[in-house]
Chains A and B, each alone.
Chain A
C-alpha cells in the first residue's frame, strides 16, 4: 500500500509551522527516505518537540544522581518508584502545566493535576496525595487575580472530585511571573512491592487497547505549543488547551486498578502530552517491537476526524495498554462496568515500525528506532550567571525596627497565610492525612492499614536561583530535605520540575546547567536521589524570562505516624535553635520587603552541616523529646518563631542574639540548615547537640499570648495572625 506524501514545498512549510527546525527536517527526510505524510509530519514534530524529547536539557539532566539502594525505578518510566519498607513502594512525579494554565487557568491547572495522576496510577499505584508548586506574578498585574483564582479552582475542582487529598504545596509571587505563571502538580501513589506496571510493550500479535474517554479535537499540538515562547496573540492558542473531566478520571483510576488485580496487562501507559502518538511510539519503542494502529476503531467524540487529528489530539483521561492474548474480555468487562470506552485499536508487530491506517489508507509508516535514536539532542551554549557580592549585614540599616518588620513580613504575599488557597482543596479525603496544610513543615499521610506514613513537600526559592543558580539549586534540594526532616521522617528521594526560560539564550541555558550542578551536589550529600522529573522551557513572554525555578518535590518515610512532628508552639516549652546564625541578609525577604532591595549573594548551604544538623534533629524527634519543630527559611528566625506561635496561639519570650550581629540580621537573616525546636528541657538538648558537634543555642521559652522580644517589646500573636490571615482574602476579594 502506498502512502500519500506531502509535496516537498508544502512539507517544509508545514514543518516550520509545527516547530521543526531545518536541520530536524533534514533528519526526518533521511529517516523516511521520502517526503512525509501529514500524519507522519505531525508525529515527528511532537516527538521531537522540546516537551517530549528534552532535546535541550537531556545532556545536563544526566548529571543528576538517580540511584540508591531504595530506588526501584528512576527517571525514564512514567514516574519514579522507591521502596518505603513494609512491602510497599511509593510512586511519584511532578509535572508542569505552565503554558496551558497561562492561556486558560482553570482547565490548564485541572488537566495538569489529571495528567500527573495518570502518570502514577498507570504504574499500578493508588494515588494517595497531591501537592503543587505555584508561581504567580504580582497580584496587581494584568489578569493575575483571575489567573490565581482560576488555577486554584482548577486544582481543587479536579483533585477534590477524584478524591485524592491535596495535602501540600508552595506559592510565590514575583513580577518575573507576571506574563508566565507556573503550575507544577505532584502526585504520590502507593503500590505493593512487585505490583508495578511498566510501559514497554511485548508480545508480537498482542492487542493494543484504548480505554477511557473518547478522542476529540481538543489539545491538538499542545506539546508543540508548550515548546515556544508566548507573544501577545497567545490567547489565540486557546484551542490547544485540553478540557479536563475528573469524573472520567476517577472511573479510570478505579477501572485500571481493578484490572491490575488480574494478569491481563502486559504494558500500560497514559496518553499525556502528544496523546496517542507519544504513548504508542514510546510503548513500542521501549519494547523493541512494531505497532499497527487502525484509527477507525478509536472511540471518537466528533465526526469526521482525520488520522492526523486523532494521533495529535490531547483529549484527557485516556490510557493505552497491551493485553496478553485472550485477556480482552476481562478488560472489556471491567471497563464496561465503569462505563468507560474500551476498544481494540491495533496490535504489536515484528516490523519495528509504527503504521497507522484509516479508512483503508496507510497514513503513516515510520521506523521507531531512529525516531528515538535520531531525536535531536542539543548541547546549547551556556553563559554563567555572574556571582553577586556578599552583602554585609552592617551595610544595610534597619529602617523600621524589629516589631514593625515582623508584622509587615508575616503579611507579605510570599509569607502570608495560604489558608485562602488550601481551604479550597480537600486535604482530608481518604482519612489518612495526619498533618494537614499548615500543621507541619511537610504534609504527613499515613498508609492505610499500617502505622507507616509518608512526609511530602514541594520547595524552591527562585530569588536565590536567579541570583546564583547553583546555590539556588542546592538550596531547593536541601530545603525539601529539611522540611521532611522537621516532621521526623527520613528523606528518601525527589522529583524535580525544571522551569526555565528560552534555552536558546546562553544565559538561560547557563542557569539550567548551574542549577543542575547545585541540585546534584545536594542530592549526593544528602542521599536524596532524583527518581523522576519534568522540564518546562520557553517560559517567556515578550522575551522576558521567569526566575529560574527548579521546583523540588520530596518524599520521606516515617515508620510510626504517632511520632510525626508538627510546628505549633506548645505551652511551657523551652526553645532551642539548631544551626548557625550569621545574619545573612543577601536575597532575604527582609531585604526585599523592608529595605526594598533584591541584592547580594543568596545564603550558601554547607551540605555537611545540613546533613549533620538534620540527622541530629530527626534523631531527637524520634527519641520523643521534641514537642514542636520548624525549619528557618523565608523570613528567617523570627518569622519561623512567629509561624509556630500563629499555628497554636501560644507566644514566646525570646533571648537576644550575639552583640556582634545587628538585630535585624539576627532575626531576619536567612542562614540555612536551621531548625527551631520546642523541648521540655533545653539543657539536655544543648548537651546532646554539643556531643554531636551540632551548633545549638538557647532561644527562649514559650507561653503567653505574645512574642516578647529582648528588651521587652512585645507583639500579640492575635495581631500577627490578623495580619497573616488578611492578605490573600483581601487580594482576592473575599
Chain B
C-alpha cells in the first residue's frame, strides 16, 4: 500500500489516520499538502482525513474541494484509484462530486461526540472485506454536520446499486431512529462509488485500532485496505 494523507489548513485527524495505517502496514504514510498539484508516483490510496478545513466557515468541505490537489485526486479516482474520506474528508468528497448527497447540520443542531454502532452492508469491497457480512462494530463520531442527505431518487439508486457501505444501528444491528443520532437519511453512515473504490464515512474507525486506547473494532477496515492494495 502506498497511501497519502492530504493536509488542508484546519485538518486535525491526520495523525490518528497515520497511526491507524501504520498499524496495518508497519510504515508511515506520505503526508500530502493541499497546494500540491500531483500525487506522488505509485500512490494507490488517498485519504482525506477529519478536521475543520478552512474552519468550516463556509459549507463544510466546500473550500477544500476547490484546492489544487483535488484536481489530481479527481483524476486519480477517475483512473480507478482508491480514495477514502472520513468526516470532513467525506464532506469534501460530496462537495467535490466524487460521492452523491450532502452532509447537513446534525438534526439536534449540536456537535455530537459519542459512540455509534455501524452495520457493514456489504463485504465485497476494498474497505470491508475483513468484516463479516452484517457485522456490527462500534466506532466514535465527532461532528457537527454529519446528517447525510440526498433526494429520494438518489437514495433509491444508492440502495438499488448496493452502494450504502455503513448504517447507524443499535448494538443489536437494528437501524432505529434512536441509533441515528445525527438524523441521516435511511441511517446512512457511509457510501461507496459505483466502482467501490471511493468511500466516505462520518465516524472515525481510525480511533478504534488500539486495544490500549479504544479497542480494535475499526481495525478490519484498515486490514481490508492493506490486503486489497497488497494484492493490487
By a beta-carbon cutoff of 8 Å, the part of chain A in contact with chain B is 153, 156-157, 160-163, 245-248, 250-251, 338-339, 422-434, 436, 446, 448, 561-562, 734
Contacts and interface: CB of A to CB of B under 8 A. Distances in A.
A322 B51 CA distance: 31
B207 interface: yes
B108 A430 contact: no
Interface centre among B55, B113, B114, B212 (most CB of A within 10 A): B113
Contact of A160 (B140, B142, B213, B214): B142
A161 B52 contact: yes
Contacts of A245: 55
A487 to B, nearest CB: 14
Interface of B: 9-10, 12-13, 15-16, 19-20, 50-52, 54-57, 108, 110-114, 140, 142, 144, 204, 206-207, 209-210, 212-214
Contacts of A428: 113, 140, 142, 204, 207, 214
A110 to B, nearest CB: 12
B213 A431 contact: yes
A156 to B, nearest CB: 5
B9 A251 contact: yes
Given A247-B55, A428-B142, A433 B16 contact: no
Given A247-B52, A426-B111, A433-B213, 20 more contacts: A161-B55, A247-B9, A423-B110, A423-B114, A424-B110, A424-B112, A425-B113, A428-B140, A428-B142, A428-B204, A429-B12, A429-B13, A430-B16, A431-B207, A431-B209, A431-B213, A433-B214, A434-B212, A434-B213, A446-B213
A475 B108 CA distance: 39
A163 B206 CA distance: 15
A431 B52 contact: no
A562 to B, nearest CB: 6
A446 B211 CA distance: 13
Contacts of B111: 153, 156-157, 160, 424-426
Contact of A247 (B57, B112, B204): B57
A431 B19 contact: yes
A426 B209 CA distance: 18
Contacts of A156: 111, 113
A247 B212 contact: no
Interface centre among A247, A251, A562 (most CB of B within 10 A): A247
Interface centre among A153, A422, A426, A561 (most CB of B within 10 A): A426
Contacts of A431: 13, 15-16, 19-20, 206-207, 209-210, 213
Nearest to A734: B108
A561 B108 contact: no
A601 B69 CA distance: 66
Contacts of B20: 431
20 contacts: A153-B111, A156-B113, A163-B12, A163-B13, A246-B52, A247-B9, A247-B54, A250-B9, A250-B52, A251-B9, A339-B9, A423-B110, A423-B113, A426-B113, A428-B204, A430-B16, A431-B15, A431-B209, A431-B210, A561-B212
Contacts of A734: 108, 110
Contacts, number: 91
Which 4 pairs between the two chains have the least Cβ-Cβ distance?
A163-B12, A247-B55, A431-B16, A426-B142
A429 B142 contact: yes
B213 A432 contact: yes
Nearest to B17: A431
A423 B214 contact: no
Nearest to A427: B113
A609 to B, nearest CB: 33
Contacts of B15: 430-431, 448
A423 B114 CA distance: 6
Interface centre among B50, B51, B204 (most CB of A within 10 A): B51
Nearest to B54: A247
B56 A161 contact: yes
A207 B112 CA distance: 45
Contacts of B209: 431
Contacts of A446: 212-213
Contacts of A162: 12
Contacts of A429: 12-13, 16, 50, 142
Contacts of B50: 429
Contacts of A157: 111
Contacts of B55: 161, 245-248
B30 to A, nearest CB: 18
Nearest to A732: B110
A198 to B, nearest CB: 27
Nearest to A248: B55
Contacts of B56: 161, 247
Given A161-B52, A430-B16, A424 B113 contact: yes
A429 B204 CA distance: 9
A163 B204 CA distance: 14
Contacts of B9: 247, 250-251, 338-339
Nearest to A245: B55
A426 to B, nearest CB: 4
Interface centre among A163, A425, A427, A428 (most CB of B within 10 A): A428
A578 B51 CA distance: 44
Interface centre among B19, B110, B210 (most CB of A within 10 A): B110
Interface centre among B9, B55, B56, B213 (most CB of A within 10 A): B213
A621 to B, nearest CB: 16
Nearest to A339: B9
Contacts of A562: 212
Nearest to A419: B114
Contact of B51 (A163, A425, A433, A436): A163
Nearest to B142: A426
A555 B214 CA distance: 22
Nearest to A338: B9
Contacts of A448: 15, 19
Interface centre among B12, B50, B56, B209 (most CB of A within 10 A): B12
A432 B9 CA distance: 22
A423 B142 CA distance: 9
B112 A423 contact: yes
A7 B20 CA distance: 67
A250 B51 CA distance: 10
A539 B48 CA distance: 46
B113 A247 contact: no
Interface centre among B114, B204, B209 (most CB of A within 10 A): B114
Contacts of B214: 428, 433, 436
Nearest to B211: A562
A160 B114 contact: no
Contacts of A338: 9
